[in-house]
Every structure is written in C-alpha cells, then in structure tokens.
C-alpha cells in the first residue's frame, strides 16, 4: 500500500521534473514499462523512454512561468487519486485529476490524467 508521504514525495519529484525538463528527473519518476495516458488529448506514452520524449516535447508550455497546486483525494492500495490545478502564464489554467499507480519502489507504473482547461477570470 502506498503512503501519503510516498505520494507527496512523488508529486514533488514531478514538479521538479516539470521545472528542470531533464531526462534524469523525468525518468526517476517512472518504471521502465510505465504508461502515461492523458485525456482529452489522447496522449498515450508507453514505456519510460516514450514518456521522457513526450514530456520534454512540452517544454514550451512553461514559457512565461507556471505554478501548480495539488491535493490528495484518496489512496486505494497502490493507487493514489490526486486533484491538481496548473496555471500557465501563456496557456491558462487547467484542472487535473490524476490516478497514479505505484510499484513497490515508489515509482509510477501507470499514470492517468484528465486535463481540463478552465476559464480564467
């Protein structure tokens, strides 16, 4: 069973990787055969190398700055449900729902995100 501390540590690593956009930081989050799925954009990256490549292709999203806030909704065995809000100066605000399934070492083996742009007031 994954713990709240493991989830928090993983999300901190996710934010670090999003900031640095380095292969090392991104790869550290995922198992070798991890899957990364995002809706409604139909992103399906299978395997750590595909995740790293896809993730690094989004570096321009960070231009102008960004911030991220999150909260843990639930833990069910090895899977955590996370609510997040990303605010990008250039892209706008996105409400996210993540499910993250962890292996015994605290790495993600399955990542699913529902990503919805919200109107900025």
Q: Is the dihedral of CA 36, 93, 24, 2 positive or negative?
A: negative
For the domain spanning 4-118, the CATH number is 3.10.450.50
Q: Is the pLDDT of residue 33 over 80?
A: yes
| 10, 2 Cβ separation under 8 angstroms | no
pLDDT by residue (tens digit) across 57-92? Answer: 877 777 778 889 999 999 999 999 999 998 888 788
Nearest C-alpha neighbor of 16 from the set 26, 8, 6? 26
| 52, 23 Cβ separation under 8 angstroms | yes
pTM of structure: 0.91
**Using CA atoms, how far apart are residues 37 and 87, in angstroms rounded to an integer?**
20
**Using CA atoms, how far apart are residues 76 and 89, in angstroms rounded to an integer?**
34
Instruction: Provide the residue ranges of all domains of the chain, joining segments of one domain with +.
Output: 4-118
């Amino acid at each position: 069973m994954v713990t709240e501390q493991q989830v928090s540590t993983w999300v901190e690593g996710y934010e670090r990787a999003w900031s640095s956009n380095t292969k090392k930081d991104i790869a550290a989050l995922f198992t070798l055969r991890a899957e990364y799925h995002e809706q409604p954009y139909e992103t399906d990256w299978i395997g750590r190398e595909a995740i790293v490549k896809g993730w690094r292709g989004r570096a321009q999203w960070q231009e102008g700055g960004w911030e991220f806030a999150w909260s843990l909704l639930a833990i069910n065995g090895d899977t955590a449900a996370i609510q997040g809000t990303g605010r990008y100066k250039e892209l706008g605000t996105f409400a996210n729902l993540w499910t993250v399934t962890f292996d015994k070492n605290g790495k993600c083996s399955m990542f699913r995100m529902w990503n919805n742009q919200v109107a900025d007031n």
